[in-house]
Amino acid sequence: MADFSDSKISLTLFEQKAEDRTSDKQPSRSGFVEITQADLDEFFSLCKNVEPEANYKGEPAIKLRIAMWDRVGRNTGKPYMSCSISPQRETRFKVDAEPLDSPSKAEPAYVFNDDEVI
């Protein structure tokens, strides 16, 4: 089975000052998630192989840990939150782990013989 112990996705959230928000419906923080293709493939595989738990509605769900740290930008001095999403230490993985699915190559709709002309 693959080792997912170092798998994580990082996020960054920046504070939106109250005076810059025009409505209470605007977020107090916003930011971005940047995921490399390799990390996305690994995280997708991780999520497929986590043993689901029942959520508050009783539905099977994947439970992941989120951690946040208050930071200050080196160049800007602006406060922000650094976040990471990763499996919990006690996460149970499926016994028969599913391989990461690669997109299947489309089968041709028609098969022609060598002597046929299109």
What pLDDT is attached to residue 75?
A: 92
What pLDDT is attached to residue 105?
A: 45
* Residue 26 included in any domain: yes
Whether the pTM exceeds 0.75: the reply is no
Cβ neighbours, 10 Å, residue 16: 14
* Residue 1 included in any domain: no
* Residue 69 included in any domain: yes
Q: Is the dihedral of CA 107, 110, 115, 118 positive or negative?
A: negative
Give residue 58's region: left, alpha or beta (phi > 0; psi -120 to 50). left
* Residue 118 included in any domain: no
Number of structural domains in the chain: 1
pLDDT tens digit sequence for 36-87: 888 888 888 888 888 888 889 999 888 888 888 999 989 988 888 888 887 7
pLDDT tens digit sequence for 29-50: 888 888 888 888 888 888 888 8
* Residue 117 included in any domain: no
* Residue 28 included in any domain: yes
**What domain range includes position 39?**
9-87
What pLDDT is attached to residue 114?
A: 59
* Residue 35 included in any domain: yes
* Residue 116 included in any domain: no
